[in-house]
Structures are given as structure tokens and as C-alpha cells.
A and B are shown apart, each in its own frame.
Chain A
Amino acid sequence: MFEVLEANNLAPDVRYLRVRAPKIARRRKPGQFVIVRASSTGERIPLTIADADATQGWIALICQGVGKTTRQLNTLGAGDRIPDVAGPLGMPSRIERYGNVVVIGGGVGTAIAYPTAAALKQAGNRVVAIIGGRSREYVILQQEMQAVSDEVYPTTDDGSLGYHGLVTDKLADLIATGPPIDLVLAIGPIPMMRAVADLTRPHHIETVVSLNPIMVDGTGMCGGCRVEVGGETRFACVDGPEFDAHLVDFDLLTRRNRAYRDFEQRRLEEWETAQAGISQ
């Protein structure tokens, strides 16, 4: 059992969970994830380790409530327990001195990008962060990003905070007017990552994305997380989750992530009905 030490909402339906896991905290590297099971009948889902403190023995998970499991996790508060947390899993982000790096986070993607941004900064890169959201309340970790970046550009679809437009609009600006970019790291919804890849491809800017296929074990045992990169099948949980954005088959990823949509919808509705019953 893994104890929740602290929990609070960062945005509507986006929760920060600080979880006691001393061993994982010590071993994890930026870009890695854990597999979490929220209950004894629960499914296994991957969540990126958004932060960790080795001396205090905790890891931070940032969870967007989209289905039953993530909603369930988002009801947890300090003192609650998570039955299973396994990790760290996946390949760590490649941290090098690239030069000028642009880190793009869309929605909760910002939480996933944050530890890698911090490590890139520490490795001596100039880090520019573009963090986007639908509107101001969906832009998360602005202060944290500020602390590890040379420049931070929040963007919102409705203009309620920062740049009025998409993260790709801001990136296009930077490509056109800023110093040459050596690496783009983009983490967020699939359409966003695809748009970033399409934008940087003609400029030959090395671009890395973190993929989020459906997983089961997270150790390379089931192949459920298959993605295609450069025409080759890879297991995202062990070969990734980060891949060369210009080689990723985003269509395939989009389709495969929809495999269980009906089931997920049904489960969510059942759970919400049950929750409503409890709170009455």
C-alpha cells in the first residue's frame, strides 16, 4: 500500500498526488513513469512521475480525471492509500547539452514535461517553455516551470492567460523570430504533439514526444502498448515512452487509444452514478 501524503487540485479535474514511495523516489529519472492500480478490482494505468524527493521519500503524480480509474484516484486525499504503484518504468529522457531547447506542455502534459525540463536546464541548456491550456485555469505548473526555464510562455485558446492561441502558434513565432532551436520536447494531447511534429519537420528541428498508449504490465510483457515509429513496431513501455516525433505514426496511436471507448464510457457512468448515490 502506498500512502498519499498530500493532494490538491491544480486545475479542474487535475490533481496533484504526493505519494510515499521511497525506493521509487530514489531510483527514478526524468521521463519515467509508474503503473498504478487504484483498487483491488482496478485496471493498471501508467502515470508519469512528475516530481520526486529522494530524501523525503515521495513521488508526485499528476492525474487528469478522464475515466473511472483517474476519477477514482482524484478523490484521494492525504492519508488515503493506493494499493499498487510499480516503477520506475520506461526509458529515462535523454538529457544532454543540446543548446537551445523548447519544452512544450499541453494541459497535464506540462506535468510530464516538467521534470525533463528541469533536468535539461540543469544540463546547461537554455530552456524555453510553452505551456498551454484551454483557458487560464487549465494552465498548470507555471511557477514551477518558471523556476527551471529561461522563458515561459503560457498560451490559452481563449486568451484568458498569456498568448492567445495554440502552443504551435507560439512555437511558430519562436522558430520565425527567436534564436535557432536545437531540440523541441512536446508532451500533451496527440493532436498537439502531431501538430508540433508537422511544424518542426520542415525546419529539421529534432523533436521528441512522449507517447501515452494503453498499457497493462508496463514491463514489455504484453505488447498492448505497441506503437509504430519509423515503420517499426516498438513497445512504448520499455522502448519509450519518448520517441522521435517525426517518425511516430500518430494515426495508429489515436486509433488504438480508442479501442475500449465504449467500455470506458460505461464504467465512468456507472461510477459517477454510484458516487452520486454516496454523496446524497
Chain B
Amino acid sequence: MNELTRKERMQLSRVTMPEQDPDSRRQNFTEVNLGLTPELAIEEARRCLMCRRPVCIDGCPVEIRITDFIGLVAEGEFDQAAKVIKEDNSLPAICGRVCPQENQCEGACVLARKDKPIAIGALERFVADFERDHNLMAAASPIPRTGRRVAVVGSGPAGLACATDLARFGHDVTVFEALHELGGVLVYGIPEFRLPKEIVRTEIAQLEDMGVEFVTNAVIGMIDSIDDLLGEEGYDAVFVGVGAGLPRFPKIPGENLIGVYSANEFLTRVNLMRAYLADSDTPLLELRGRNVAVFGGGNTAMDAVRTALRLGAAQASIIYRRSEQEMPARLEEVHHARQEGVRFRMLAIPVEFLGNADGFLKGVRLQRMELGEPDEGGRRRPVPVPGSEWLEDVDVAVVAIGNSPNPLLGKTAPDLEETPWGTLVTDEATGRTTKEGVFAGGDIVTGGATVILAMGAGRTAAASIHEYLRTGVWDVPDEPVEVPG
């Protein structure tokens, strides 16, 4: 029960997420945020004004019933709260940790104006963790099988969310993953200290319990094409959730020196291949005592720079071409990075990498930028300042300036129409591609975006795949499709 008046509630301050001390966490890979206690969660939930028009929900890409779940948290009904969230978000333990809440629910919250929005992300994470830690995750109830078979290509958030809903509809689902481990960016990109892999594994185990089949080491396009899946492999529909995995490089001299990594390579070596553990056979260049420069200002850049610190870098810097306000990374990551001692150098770009005779990186020539006119996206465009170049010592550089879609699958399916950026053309409302029976969602459609958008797209596609299998009609349906609870 919430006995406080609205005015009293507005006086309360936002609870602080307990976290590992920066000095110690800089030396380990365990999670930085420790999670709310039940007491803190209730305290925070009680601050919620239970707005009659909850604008927070408008800010949530999948429209979680935020007021309902927060109300249940305030009453200590944590497992019920988890069930409410799961109606709209199948991966709350993950989203509670990685969503850019300040641009979504918390950014919209009326209390954001007072700089203390309800900690919706922390609460979401709390109830999901509570459910998992107390073994309250609902066992899958037996569902009548439809006998229809769907192939899901890619096991990132888009594929996992799509598979979940398809399994709930009673379809036989097989997920094909190119790598040897499941989870997409959640396992190869986002580090352990931000998203423990155990959480991803639990979600996948749940899907296995629901009868979803997983095939690793299956590079679709190489081992089977989409036509093979729909043809000789006998699938009735295919969902493509292969992400945007092709690393971009700045195209400057010296970028093939040893020590210039793409963020994908650097993070894959550390996360997927576990190069941070002593028993891993995957090498990584020595970072202890070295200067590491990470180029970019997104989550990927923050993950890379903080990983470098944890691997012993003497200095780890973020070098970004715009100013701090334009950095697309989650606020919390920037804050954590700063606490941990990351150096931020804004308004600079690399123009040349320099190496020694053995081909190892030794330095970088940087150029100062200034902000000019706003671009199409409304962010002020960085323009180089002539004659402003300078040299810095760098032993390892990580390039985190974005990814494009990997053309590997598209090349083997010429009838899947692509945009000039290499993303797949789809109908947004249904996830239909230009090829009958094939749906797509996530980063392969939007370009690098967010976990929640990928997950939402996976669910949208699952609903229209279900509709397609039920009716056999490929044209856009008139009635809205339903998402299972």
C-alpha cells in the first residue's frame, strides 16, 4: 500500500543502485551494479506517482505496463510484477541492465524534470532477478503443437524474442546460430561486467525447455541458403535476425597495423573467447601498462575502453569526434567509465596510425574537430580544424565507429531486397521482407540499434509469422495481429 501523498512522494529522493567500488571493479570482470535489495526496490517503487496518464509507458518501445508492475513491487508482490513485465518484454533481466532508460521510460517520466525519474530500469532488473534467483520462472505449460516449422536465423535478442513467441504459439522452432555460442551481441559484444552471461544462458535454457531447438556453428548462406531452409529443409517460414555485424574502419593510413582492432574483434576475443581468463587459448595483445585508445562514443566504445582498463591498461581513452552531449552511449556507462578512470578526449578524430618496423602500432595522429551546422539527425556535425593535428602514443587502438550489416547472407538470397545501406527492406508493421515466407527484424533491418528494439521487432515478426502460417496469406492482413501473453 502506498500511504504517502503525492507531495510527500515527490520529496523523496531516487534510490542509488549499489555498485562495486570503482577501484576494485576496475580489476575484475564481475558485474558493476549489484542490484537493488527488496527494501530499496519497495522504497523506490513507492516514489512512483502512479500517474493517471503514465507517460513513461509511451517512452517504452514495447509499452511495458510500468505503473502496474511498479505498483506490485511497492506491495512486495515481486513475482507478480515479473509476470506483468513479461507480457510485453520476454528478456527483462537483460533489458533492465542494458536499455538506454534515460532516452526511453525514465526520460519520459514526469519526475525526470526534477532530475529524479523513477529508477524503472533498476526495478525491472530487480524483479527479473528476483524471479530467477527464487526459481519462480514459470515452467512452460504444454501447448498444442501446430506442426508448422519455423527457422530463426541468428540468436541475438531479435531471434530469441521471435523464437519465444513462436514456441508459445505452438510452432516447432529451430534457431540457427553462426557462432559456437548463443546470444548474439549479448554474449560476444556486451562484457560480463555489464551483463553476466549466466543471465543469457538462463533465458536460453528456458527456451530449450519450451522445445525450441538450437543449432550452433550454422552459418546460414554458407551451409544452407534461405531457399534451402524453405525447400529441402522443410521450414514453413524463416525469420532473419542476423544483426549488423560488419565492422567499419576509418579508412586511414596504418589501420592494418598490429594493434588496431575493430571493437568486434577486441570484444569477441575477450567475451566470446574469454581471453581475460587464464585458461583461454585465444590470444589478445598485452594491455598491461599500455596506452589504449578507443575511437567512438557509443556503448561499444564504452565496453571496449572499460574492458581495456580491466586488462591492465595504464591509460585507456575514449576519443570521440563530437562532444560529450552527442555521445550515444548510455549515461550510466559514461558515468561508470569516468569513475573507473577512463580519459575522455572529445572533438578529435584519428587521421593516421603509425607503427614500428615490425608492424606494431605505436602512435596515432589526431586532428581536432569543432561542431558546425546540425546534420539531418539534428546533431551538430563535426568539422576538422585545419592545422590542428598532433601525435599521441598508442599501443592498442580499438575502432568502435559502428557496424554495417554483414552481406554474407544477403549475397546468397538475391531476392531479399536491401536498402543502399545493406539493411533488409521490410514492412515495419509485420516484419515481412520482399521474399514470401521470410521475415526479418533487429539490427539487420534498422542498422545498429538497441536490444529492446531488436526484441520488439522479433515479437512483431513472430505475430505475423503466426498469422501467415494460420492463413497462408502473404498480403498484409487487415485485422491487427495479437501477441501472446
Distance of A233 Cα from B353 Cα, bound (Å): 15
Asked whether B273 is an interface residue with its Cβ less than 8 Å from the other chain, the reply is yes
Residue of A nearest to B264 (CB): A222
Distance of A84 Cα from B283 Cα, bound (Å): 19
Distance of A264 Cα from B281 Cα, bound (Å): 8
Asked whether A159 is an interface residue with its Cβ less than 8 Å from the other chain, the reply is no
Q: Which residues A251-280 have CB closer than 8 A to chain B? A: 252, 255-256, 258-260, 263-264, 267
By a CB distance below 8 angstroms, the chain B residues around A142 are none
Q: Say yes or no: B246 contacts A24, CB within 8 Å.
A: no
Residue of B nearest to A72 (CB): B281
Dominant SS among interface residues on chain B: loop
Asked whether A42 is an interface residue with its Cβ less than 8 Å from the other chain, the reply is yes
Which one of B11-19, B26-34, B78-86, B255-263 contacts A? B255-263
Q: Say yes or no: B258 contacts A89, CB within 8 Å.
A: no
In the complex, which of the residues B218, B249, B277 contacts A223, with contact meaning CB atoms closer than 8 Å?
A: B249
Q: How many residue pairs, one in A and one in B, have C-beta atoms under 8 Å apart?
A: 106
Asked whether A228 is an interface residue with its Cβ less than 8 Å from the other chain, the reply is yes
Distance of A198 Cα from B1 Cα, bound (Å): 83
Which one of A7-15, A162-170, A183-191, A213-221 contacts B? A213-221
Distance of A260 Cα from B218 Cα, bound (Å): 28
Distance of A220 Cα from B178 Cα, bound (Å): 11
Min CB distance B413 to A, Å, is 15
Min CB distance B425 to A, Å, is 21
Contacts A37-B180, A223-B262 given; indicate if A263 touches B273 (C-beta within 8 A): no
Chain B: number of interface residues, binned into ranges:
35 or more
One digit per residue, 1 when the CB lies within 8 angstroms of any chain A CB and 0 when it does not, for chain B 273-307 equals 11001011111010000000000000000000000
Asked whether B138 is an interface residue with its Cβ less than 8 Å from the other chain, the reply is no
Q: A42-B281, A86-B178, A221-B247 are in contact. List 12 more A-B contacts (CB 8 A).
A: A24-B223, A43-B283, A86-B216, A87-B219, A216-B273, A219-B406, A224-B265, A226-B256, A233-B249, A259-B283, A259-B285, A260-B285
Distance of A256 Cα from B216 Cα, bound (Å): 29
Q: Say yes or no: A219 contacts B178, CB within 8 Å.
A: yes
By a CB distance below 8 angstroms, the chain A residues around B277 are 41
26 A-B pairs (CB sep. < 8 Å): A27-B223, A37-B180, A41-B277, A41-B279, A42-B281, A43-B273, A43-B281, A86-B178, A86-B179, A86-B219, A89-B219, A216-B268, A216-B282, A217-B178, A219-B178, A220-B407, A220-B408, A221-B246, A221-B247, A221-B406, A222-B265, A256-B256, A258-B358, A263-B283, A267-B281, A267-B283
By a CB distance below 8 angstroms, the chain A residues around B448 are none
By a CB distance below 8 angstroms, the chain A residues around B216 are 84, 86
Asked whether B336 is an interface residue with its Cβ less than 8 Å from the other chain, the reply is no
Asked whether A154 is an interface residue with its Cβ less than 8 Å from the other chain, the reply is no
Q: Say yes or no: B283 contacts A260, CB within 8 Å.
A: yes
Q: Say yes or no: A228 contacts B219, CB within 8 Å.
A: no
Q: Say yes or no: A220 contacts B281, CB within 8 Å.
A: no
In the complex, which of the residues A39, A255, A267 contacts B358, with contact meaning CB atoms closer than 8 Å?
A: A255
One digit per residue, 1 when the CB lies within 8 angstroms of any chain A CB and 0 when it does not, for chain B 241-253 equals 0000111010000
Min CB distance B197 to A, Å, is 14
Q: In this complex, which of A221, A224, A226, A255 has the most chain B Cβ atoms within 10 angstroms of its Cβ?
A: A221
Distance of A87 Cα from B218 Cα, bound (Å): 7
Distance of A86 Cα from B280 Cα, bound (Å): 20
Distance of A89 Cα from B219 Cα, bound (Å): 8
Chain A: number of interface residues, binned into ranges:
35 or more
By a CB distance below 8 angstroms, the chain B residues around A226 are 256
In the complex, which of the residues A24, A255, A267 contacts B258, with contact meaning CB atoms closer than 8 Å?
A: A255
In the complex, which of the residues B224, B246, B256 contacts A228, with contact meaning CB atoms closer than 8 Å?
A: B256
Q: Say yes or no: B358 contacts A233, CB within 8 Å.
A: no
Asked whether A121 is an interface residue with its Cβ less than 8 Å from the other chain, the reply is no
Asked whether B103 is an interface residue with its Cβ less than 8 Å from the other chain, the reply is no
One digit per residue, 1 when the CB lies within 8 angstroms of any chain B CB and 0 when it does not, for chain A 130-172 equals 0000000000000000000000000000000000000000000
Q: Say yes or no: A216 contacts B258, CB within 8 Å.
A: no
One digit per residue, 1 when the CB lies within 8 angstroms of any chain A CB and 0 when it does not, for chain B 177-191 equals 011100000000000
In the complex, which of the residues A88, A223, A256 contacts B222, with contact meaning CB atoms closer than 8 Å?
A: A88
By a CB distance below 8 angstroms, the chain A residues around B246 are 220-221
Asked whether B132 is an interface residue with its Cβ less than 8 Å from the other chain, the reply is no
Min CB distance A255 to B, Å, is 3
By a CB distance below 8 angstroms, the chain A residues around B178 are 86, 217, 219
Q: Which residues B210-224 have CB closer than 8 A to chain A? A: 216-219, 222-224
Distance of A27 Cα from B264 Cα, bound (Å): 28
By a CB distance below 8 angstroms, the chain B residues around A84 are 180, 216-217
In the complex, which of the residues B247, B249, B280, B359 contacts A41, with contact meaning CB atoms closer than 8 Å?
A: B280
Asked whether B330 is an interface residue with its Cβ less than 8 Å from the other chain, the reply is no
Min CB distance A226 to B, Å, is 5
Min CB distance A146 to B, Å, is 32
Q: In this complex, which of B218, B277, B282, B408 has the most chain A Cβ atoms within 10 angstroms of its Cβ?
A: B282
Asked whether A85 is an interface residue with its Cβ less than 8 Å from the other chain, the reply is yes
By a CB distance below 8 angstroms, the chain A residues around B258 are 255-256, 258-259
Contacts A43-B273, A222-B265 given; indicate if A217 touches B280 (C-beta within 8 A): no
A binding-site residues for B, Cβ under 8 Å: 23-24, 27, 37, 39, 41-44, 68-69, 83-89, 216-217, 219-224, 226, 228, 233, 238, 252, 255-256, 258-260, 263-264, 267
Q: In this complex, which of B224, B246, B283 has the most chain A Cβ atoms within 10 angstroms of its Cβ?
A: B283
Distance of A185 Cα from B92 Cα, bound (Å): 54
Min CB distance A215 to B, Å, is 10
- Which 9 pairs of residues, A with B, have the shortest CB-CB distance? A255-B359, A222-B265, A86-B217, A260-B283, A263-B283, A223-B262, A221-B245, A84-B180, A43-B282
Distance of A221 Cα from B265 Cα, bound (Å): 8
Min CB distance B254 to A, Å, is 11
Residue of B nearest to A237 (CB): B408
Asked whether B362 is an interface residue with its Cβ less than 8 Å from the other chain, the reply is no
By a CB distance below 8 angstroms, the chain A residues around B265 are 216, 222-224
By a CB distance below 8 angstroms, the chain A residues around B261 are 224
Q: In this complex, which of B180, B224, B406 has the most chain A Cβ atoms within 10 angstroms of its Cβ?
A: B180
Asked whether B97 is an interface residue with its Cβ less than 8 Å from the other chain, the reply is no
By a CB distance below 8 angstroms, the chain B residues around A69 are 281
Q: Which residues B387-436 have CB closer than 8 A to chain A? A: 406-408
In the complex, which of the residues A42, A44, A88 contacts B223, with contact meaning CB atoms closer than 8 Å?
A: A88
In the complex, which of the residues A42, A83, A216, A255 contacts B269, with contact meaning CB atoms closer than 8 Å?
A: A216
Min CB distance B396 to A, Å, is 11
Residue of A nearest to B245 (CB): A221
Q: Say yes or no: A217 contacts B359, CB within 8 Å.
A: no
Distance of A152 Cα from B277 Cα, bound (Å): 48
By a CB distance below 8 angstroms, the chain A residues around B407 are 220
Distance of A62 Cα from B224 Cα, bound (Å): 24
Distance of A263 Cα from B249 Cα, bound (Å): 26
By a CB distance below 8 angstroms, the chain A residues around B406 are 219-221
